[in-house]
Structure 1
Amino acid sequence: MTETHATIPPGAPVFPPGRYGRRRQPGRRRPLLTVLLVVVSVAALTAVSVRLYRQYGDPAYDAQVITYTDITDNQVVVDFRVNLPEGGSAVCLLRARDNAGAEVAREEVPVTAAEGQRQVTVRHRLTTTARPFIGEVVRCRPPA
């Protein structure tokens, strides 16, 4: 004679008691751990995003080197254009490097746009410690 249990759904296999060891209960859910992991992940991604935004700046403060000229043993003149918010201002970091790529000058230059103006062209002379090979704008950011 076969046994029919009221708690076993039809079609489910019936195992003889004690023959295959103890059956495991379904795992206990841990919603607190899941929520904690999600919160930590979101916080970490937010921190990375903020750091990258601060490092690479606001696209509204975009700078382009037009030319670098008057290269001597102790100077280079850098002409550059900065896109700013209308009537805004920025601080641009300029540097000069020698043939080996070593930095021979670094200076922050304030740039201010006139009312209604979005692009400013600036000419700045960098005094260097050795003969420069190139003058460049590293980045522009809003003034502190």
Structure 2
Amino acid sequence: MTEMQTTDGRVPETAHVTFPEGRYGRRRESKRRRPAVTAALTVGVVLAGLFAAWRLSEVYGQNEVSERLRGFDDSVPGQVTVEFEVYKPAGEGATCAVRSRDLAGAEIGYAEVDIPADDATHVVMSYPLAVEGVPNTGEVLRCWQTD
């Protein structure tokens, strides 16, 4: 047993280990800590993230117009009748994108349906959509407020 080890084989905490010069590369000096710079960068990143979230919610946030598909009827060849509800502000118009897809998922019909501006906030629409093929679905992709 050497004088640097304890009886159970551990090196005591007070022992200082020195490595042969140049054998394991250059020892790095400890860097000077700069807590003010770290704090400023952290605050800057958080503020930039909050600004980006606010801006994206302004651009892509909750729309005042919403839609709900009630059903579709594909019994007439060459057309799908799509029935849907639109909730919009009173006195404002809206436009809804309606489409139909075939069994493979290819889009076979698409239209943008205008909902007129009136005092109603809830409108039920039934739109006959012309299709090119055998339809499998009738969908309302989204609705948006028109100027």
Q: TM-score, normalised by structure 1?
A: 0.66
Alignment of 1:38-49 (within 5 A): 38-49=46-57
Q: Return the offset for 1:100.
A: 2.0
Aligned to 1:61: 65
Q: Residues of 2 paired with 1:84 and 1:121: CA distance?
A: 11
| Cα offsets for 1:99-123 (capped at 9, x unmatched) | 12221111111102532x2111112
Q: Secondary structure at the match of 1:71?
A: coil
Q: Residues of 2 paired with 1:103 and 1:68: CA distance?
A: 15
Q: Gapped runs of 5+ residues in structure 1?
A: 1-23
Q: TM-score, normalised by structure 2?
A: 0.65
Aligned to 1:108: 112
Q: Gapped runs of 5+ residues in structure 2?
A: 1-29
Is the CA contact 2:74–2:135 (under 8 Å) kept in the aligned structure 1? no
| Cα offsets for 1:4-49 (capped at 9, x unmatched) | xxxxxxxxxxxxxxxxxxxx79733215433432232223333443
Alignment of 1:1-144 (within 5 A): 27-28=33-34, 29-30=36-37, 31-50=39-58, 52-53=60-61, 57-58=62-63, 60-115=64-119, 117-144=120-147
Aligned amino acid, residue 110 of structure 1: D
Is the CA contact 1:95–1:138 (under 8 Å) kept in the aligned structure 2? yes
Q: Secondary structure at the match of 1:131?
A: coil
Equivalences, count: 116
Query: Aligned-pair RMSD on alpha carbons?
Result: 2.5
Aligned to 1:3: none
Q: Residues of 2 paired with 1:139 and 1:25: CA distance?
A: 55
Q: Runs of at least 4 residues of structure 1 off by over 6 A?
A: none
Describe the shift of the 1:64–1:33 C-alpha distance in structure 2 as closer, same or farther (beyond 3 A).
closer
Q: Residues of 2 paired with 1:99 and 1:63: CA distance?
A: 24
